[in-house]
Chains A and B, each alone.
Chain A
């Protein structure tokens, strides 16, 4: 209230003062004004200092966490150096620690998840914002959003008892033998069940609601005038969506994909239950793998010795850094796209 009152008082004062006849009146007014302004200035200072402190808490907290993990992981990083990132040997018994399989697994499982869920989620968003009858929109949107509310351990259970049997007995043989995709390294080898493919699939389901609900909001926010512009030029409904609505919403949709990517990179429980937890790099998606998050979750409670613990901390630090880099790259991409669409699009 005080804050709101002050600017008008200030704005009014230069006009009022000269008009007033000389006497006690201006002095009283000026004094009252002075007190108000001084009070407001102190209030403003307190307020802005408090807000600045709150805002600083977040980056400081983040830096502290990063620093803490780094310090804890330093012994392992110092001992193995750069080969910590490139070596595939993760052997706690013999004290050899290389995080390459886990890094590879994290990136590949997230890539599979995005490759599957991005087109699906954008399709869902287009359907819900453009095509679905009004009565269907809210219920379906709610159900899709509900996917995000399912606990990750439940996804893991469902994956073990439903998804993996289907993959092992039907999908993997079909891809490898019936479609003869087995000639490609990605679809070759024995079908174990727990695999990179299973982890990627479950992640794609978990990530879908994030991408689709952000995309839906963005699509709904595209101004009607943009649609009308395309329609008035003789575009069909689909051409309007493809040529006017989606390009307008492009950067927002990429933002949704980034959100999903962040979720996929860090997801632990469901992936741990499905990926097979074997520290190896295999081109085949049918083979088991490992991710950084599942590695930490699996081994932390029974870490044997300081070096092992330190190596796990170092993995945590690498995950932290990779997540940061991926987000930075993605953000740069959004910036490029939004600048490109406003700038030099061909």
Chain B
């Protein structure tokens, strides 16, 4: 490869990265708007409705507010770790998007071990939380970090097991191939044969992103705001961005692995990227719905659900899946390995 060719590849890759990151940031901004509107509707309120038509400019106003606020660094904090903690929580949330296939051909990096890569990167997000809690040198922040670390470790196991089921049925670690293995109609998608794993995966995803009803890491009635209590302005906004980017990530992964990605549910309408976005939006609605519906779990109940309910359920269902693959029950289970 010549120098110019290499340079062109670099520029082209950066352009493609920008084509993913910029819409992602916009989605995060409007997800906060959607959240306030949806919760408003559920609680029979209007939600944001003053800035712009129907409050549509509210996220932009929020961004400006956060940008102009002062970033405070507490006196006895560990300065370096305090500053890099938000970056450490944001970077994996964005980097994981590299392997997400948006449609049959639209994927930044079509790597073989895509699913493993996503799992590895989502497991790194916890460092931002732990380091933030420790570096703040505050009891509330520290308690939040401890809670978050224990919770994420617990639910990651259930999540990983759920994904093992997907890999077994899909016969590949490549996210694009997993979607292609679901071709057919609505009932060929993996949500049906892997229904318990789908439920476990999605609830673990909610727990992993520290969203209500699993948001004990923030728990504003108990530990003020948890790990980000000492952060303000842009540093706080980065944590916020990471949380919402992770939510979209979990929803997109659920769509790819259980709901057929870009595949169309109706036979005569063609497949396409639109279906991917529509399904992701549908899954995101559940995050908002959960938040408006359920009271916060007590901490020991969270641990019980993760260790004593989800992990046994996934292990039992993995055995069922393995037996079904050996019996080659059509149309879902077949020996697909190379």
Q: Real complex partners, A and B?
A: no
Interface positions of A (Cβ within 8 A of B)? none
Interface positions of B (Cβ within 8 A of A)? none
